[in-house]
Amino acid sequence: MSWMIGTVTLPKSASSVHIATDAIIDALDQSGRNPILSSTGLNADDFTMTGIIGGETHTISSILSTYAVPLWAYRGGTVVVATPYAFLNGTYMVEHVDFSFSNEEPKEVGFTIKFKKGSGYFIV
């Protein structure tokens, strides 16, 4: 199965994926003892993917117009992500997008996209 971010189907799988989440933990300090801890819920799940788009059959211009520009447009909004891993699939808010490239051969564009998953989304 391919990797899809909104309407963009990536030509290659992500080269790395990082998933993280933290509990919201409060501490009640005690003199001379470890604190009493309480968990009041979870922070948003973080999901970061990195990869490379391109190769011999692409130009930097075609990669940017076909992949980078549409992905860039998702910043600050929500997008449906579909991957080969069912537990990652769903609607996310796009927190960060970056691309890196040079005009050297082969024509490739590196990317990093950071998503956040919540139980709901509010976009102003």
Would the pTM count as exceeding 0.75? yes
Q: Is 37 a domain residue?
A: yes
What per-residue confidence (pLDDT) applies to 101? 87
Q: Is 124 a domain residue?
A: no
- CATH number of the domain at 99, please: 2.40.30.200
Q: Is 73 a domain residue?
A: yes
Q: Is 27 a domain residue?
A: yes
Domain that holds residue 52: 4-117
51-104 pLDDT, tens digit per residue, is 999 877 788 888 999 999 999 999 999 999 999 999 999 999 999 999 998 777
Contact 26, 37 (CB under 8 A): yes
Q: Please give the tally of structural domains in the chain.
A: 1
**Average pLDDT value over all residues in the chain:** 92
Beta pairing partners, 102: none
What per-residue confidence (pLDDT) applies to 56? 72
The gap from C-alpha 77 to its chain's centroid, in whole angstroms, comes to: 12
Q: Is 123 a domain residue?
A: no
What per-residue confidence (pLDDT) applies to 58? 82
